């Protein structure tokens, strides 16, 4: 094949991914509902896995900080082989069941936590062991896999297994399997963030204004939600100490920053729980 044929062939294969995910949305919805209860009670989102699967989990966790203001202590990834495995293959790590237990003990796993264990095959020893240990502790266990007849699908509290079929390059699970896992993780974490009150309508009200682009986006969000002039949105953003959610509380309840912050914190930083905010 030439490059054009390769691209077209891989694209045709990738069409199976959204179809496979559409068949497991009930399981994804269950994961969002049950994980939200744990998360809103102070639990942590802990992604764990080996190789490509583990890296995808770490990526999803990392992106929750700038997008939704989630502290890295509340959502993080654990890779077989440690942090160096993010950038280089660590041979043998995925085969160690003991290593998964050690890694989860290291972060003091507790029964409020959510453990999302990732493995394309559903039988990676490290990922299997993570579920086994997490269940003993009482944490919620979610398996994101691509094999609905596997050990992980049988032992996890919730198994999400989009059946994407054979890879264009046989056994290369960084392709269709990896893409499906990325999409599923996006859905789970976004759903949890919505139910935690970090989204207003379809706008990210917990986005962290850490650069010029995100500062402009934050002001745009205030302007759009409140339907106010640009200069008024900029002033409110500044008066709210660059916190969109608190700015909305200030405006809608006609109160100052200190009062709005107290109300916001008293409602567990969930704007949808505050009376008078629609």
Quick check: 46 and 188 in contact, CB under 8 A? no
Whether 11 and 71 map to the same domain: the answer is yes
Cα distances (Å, whole numbers) of residue 178 to 15, 86, 171: 14, 15, 11
186 confidence band (pLDDT: 50, 70, 90): very high
Residues 81 and 102 both lie in one domain = yes
**121 three-state secondary structure:** coil
Q: Which residues pair with 159 in a beta bridge?
A: 143
From the number of C-beta atoms within 10 Å of its C-beta (0-12, 13-18, 19+), residue 275 rates as exposed
pLDDT value at 247 more than 90: yes
Q: Which two tokens stand for residue 81?
A: 């082989």
**Bridging pattern class, strands 158-160 and 140-145:** parallel
Among 7-21, 68-82, 89-103, 261-275, the least confident range: 89-103
Q: Residue 278 domain-assigned?
A: no
C-alpha distance from residue 198 to each of 65, 170, 194 (Å): 12, 40, 6
Q: What digits encode the pLDDT tens for the residues 199-223?
A: 998 999 999 998 999 999 999 999 9
Residues contacting 207, CB < 8 A, separation 6+: 66, 67, 68, 69, 214, 217, 218, 221, 244
Q: Are 141 and 228 contained in the same domain?
A: no
Q: Which domain holds residue 210?
A: 200-273
Same domain flag for 168 and 205: no
Shared domain for 181 and 204, answered yes or no, is no
- Based on the fold, state whether residues 158 and 227 are members of the same structural domain: no
C-alpha dist (Å) from residue 242 to 100, 212, 269, 277: 40, 12, 15, 19
Distance CA 228, CA 273 (A): 24
Q: What is the pLDDT of residues 127-161, one digit of tens each?
A: 999 999 999 999 999 999 999 999 999 999 999 99
Same domain? For 181 and 235 the reply is no
Question: How far, in whole angstroms, is CA 127 from its chain's centroid?
Answer: 18
* Count of domains forming the chain: 2
Residues 94, 151, 167, 223: which is the catalytic one? Answer: 94
For the chain, first and last CA: distance in Å?
56
The verdict on residue 31 lying in a domain is yes
Predicted pLDDT of residue 35: 98
**In a domain? residue 118:** yes
Kindly report, residue by residue over 52-96, the tens digit of the pLDDT. Answer: 999 999 999 999 999 999 999 999 999 999 988 888 877 778 888
Told to judge if 94 belongs to the known catalytic residues of this protein, a careful annotator would answer yes
**Which sign, positive or negative, has the C-alpha torsion 237, 239, 241, 243?**
negative
54-80 core/surface letters (b: 16 or more CB in 10 A; e: else): bbbbbebbbebbbbbbbeeebbbbbbb
* One domain, residues 29 and 157: yes
Q: Which residue has the higher pLDDT, 268 or 255?
A: 255
Catalytic residue among 13, 30, 63, 234: 63
**73 located within any domain:** yes
String of DSSP letters for 59-106 = HHHHHHHHHH---TTTEEEEETT-GGGGTS--TTGGG-HHHHHHHHHH
Residues 141 and 244 in one domain: no
Residue 90, pLDDT score: 79
The reply to whether 258 falls in a domain is yes
Is 7 among the domain residues?
yes
Q: Identify whether residues 119 and 186 lie together within a single domain.
A: yes
Question: What are 35's two structure tokens?
Answer: 């994980």
pLDDT bin (cut points 50, 70, 90) of residue 41 is very high
Query: Which of the listed residues 168, 195, 222 is the one where a domain comes to its end?
Result: 195
Classify residue 48 by burial, with Cβ atoms within 10 Å: 0-12, 13-18, 19+: buried
Residue ending a domain, choose from 170, 195, 220: 195
Same domain flag for 97 and 234:
no
Tell me, yes or no, whether 135 lies in a domain.
Answer: yes
- CATH number at 180 reads 3.40.50.10490
Do the beta carbons of residue 154 and residue 128 sit within 8 Å? no
Where among 195, 215, 245 does a domain terminate? 195
Question: Is 212 known to be catalytic?
Answer: no
- CATH code, domain with 248: 1.10.8.1080
Do 132 and 218 sit in the same domain of this protein? no
């Amino acid at each position: 094949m030439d490059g054009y044929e390769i691209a077209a062939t891989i694209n045709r294969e990738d069409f199976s991914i959204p179809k496979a995910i559409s068949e497991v949305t009930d399981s994804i919805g269950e994961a969002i509902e049950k994980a939200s209860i744990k998360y809103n009670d102070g639990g942590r989102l802990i992604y764990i896995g080996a190789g490509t699967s583990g890296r995808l989990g770490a990526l999803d966790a990392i992106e929750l900080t700038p997008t939704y203001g989630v502290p890295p202590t509340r959502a993080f990834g654990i890779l077989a082989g440690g942090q160096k495995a993010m950038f280089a293959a660590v041979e043998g790590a995925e085969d160690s069941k003991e290593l998964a237990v050690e890694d989860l003990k290291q972060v003091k796993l507790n029964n409020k936590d959510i453990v999302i264990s990732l493995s394309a095959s559903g039988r990676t020893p490290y990922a299997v062991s993570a579920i086994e240990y997490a269940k003993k502790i009482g944490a919620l266990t979610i398996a994101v896999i691509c094999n609905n007849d596997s050990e992980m699908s049988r032992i996890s509290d919730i198994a999400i297994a989009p059946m994407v079929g054979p890879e264009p390059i046989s056994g290369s699970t960084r392709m269709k399997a990896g893409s499906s896992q990325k999409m599923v993780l996006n859905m789970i974490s976004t759903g949890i963030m919505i139910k935690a009150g970090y989204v207003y309508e379809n706008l990210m009200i917990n986005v962290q204004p850490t650069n010029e682009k995100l500062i402009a986006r934050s002001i745009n969000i205030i302007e759009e939600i409140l339907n106010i002039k640009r200069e008024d949105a900029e002033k409110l953003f500044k008066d709210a100490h660059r916190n969109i959610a608190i700015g909305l509380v200030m405006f809608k309840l006609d109160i100052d920053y200190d009062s709005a912050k107290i109300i916001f914190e008293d409602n567990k930083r969930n704007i949808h729980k505050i009376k008078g905010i629609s």
